[in-house]
Structures are given as C-alpha cells and as structure tokens.
C-alpha cells in the first residue's frame, strides 16, 4: 500500500484525504487539485473514522497480478463507505460473510495486517463479532 493514505501508527487511525478550500469538496486519497472545480487550493484533511456501508461485495477469488496480494489469499469483503459530510471511500472490509454485511451498516476504520504490511479497512460497529485485529 502506498504511504500517506492513513495516519499510522496511531491509537485512532484516520484516513488522509484532502478538501478544496474553494468549493469544499472532499477527496480520498488526497489530491493536489480539486476534481470538481480544478482549484489547486486544497488542504489536507483527516477524515472521520466512522461511516456507513454504501455498497459492498465479496471478493471470492484471488485477483490477477499485479493485484494478487499475499499468497494466503482468503475471500474478503470490499465496499464503499459513506463518511458523513465528506466522501465515499472504497475499502476492504474486515468481514467477508454476506450474512453480516448490509447496506447502511455502521462501520469504523481499522488498520489490519496485509502481507508483511498494514492497510486500512472498515469493521462493523454493531458488535456482531467483527474480527478486529487491532484495537
């Protein structure tokens, strides 16, 4: 994963996005210019840690290179998380069980192992036994 996507190490990790000072649009990952009004007057913005699941799917097979990832591939959830008042973020989910995923599910940002690195993901906030690996 590229550096600069999230604050780490951190007790309360945050995604690092950007906000346009001209029109207020928020982007993730951070961009040097605004995708809406093309202003380059953008500032770094630490995004909210909680949101709701906007849409999701389960990646049930190993992606083709160069996205193959670690050798020990396991199915994983992936979705778009709506951060209220900010932006929709595409992210891995900590659960891959369709019975535990639904649109509107409250989720929060966590940092999870990814191969020999870490990456960001979203975990359910409903206490349904999310396999939180960091806390």
Residues lying near Zn ion in the complex (CB under 5 A) are found at 20, 22-23, 25, 34, 36-37, 39
Closest separation in Å from C-beta 52 to Zn ion: 25
CB closer to Zn ion out of 41 and 74: 41
d(CA 17, CA 6): 9
77 neighbors 56 (Cβ within 8 angstroms) = yes
Closest separation in Å from C-beta 44 to Zn ion: 15
**Rg (Cα) of the chain, in Å, rounded?**
15
Query: Which is nearest to 32 in space by CA: 17, 42, 47?
Result: 42
Query: Which is nearest to 124 in space by CA: 91, 103, 97, 101?
Result: 101
CB closer to Zn ion out of 28 and 120: 28
Closest separation in Å from C-beta 89 to Zn ion: 18
d(CA 95, CA 34): 33
CB closer to Zn ion out of 43 and 131: 43
CB closer to Zn ion out of 9 and 32: 32
d(CA 19, CA 127): 32
Closest separation in Å from C-beta 77 to Zn ion: 32
């Amino acid at each position: 994963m590229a550096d600069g996507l999230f604050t780490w190490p951190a007790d309360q990790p945050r995604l690092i996005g950007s906000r346009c000072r001209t029109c207020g649009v928020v982007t993730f990952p951070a961009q040097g210019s605004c995708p809406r009004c093309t202003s380059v007057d953008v500032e770094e913005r630490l995004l909210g840690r909680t949101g709701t699941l906007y849409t999701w799917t389960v990646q049930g097979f190993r992606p083709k290179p160069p996205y193959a990832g670690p050798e020990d591939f396991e199915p994983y959830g992936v979705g778009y998380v709506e951060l209220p008042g900010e932006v929709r973020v595409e992210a891995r989910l900590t659960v891959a069980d369709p019975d535990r995923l639904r649109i509107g599910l409250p989720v929060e940002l966590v940092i999870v192992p990814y191969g020999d690195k870490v990456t960001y993901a979203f975990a359910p906030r409903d206490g349904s036994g999310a396999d939180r690996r960091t806390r």
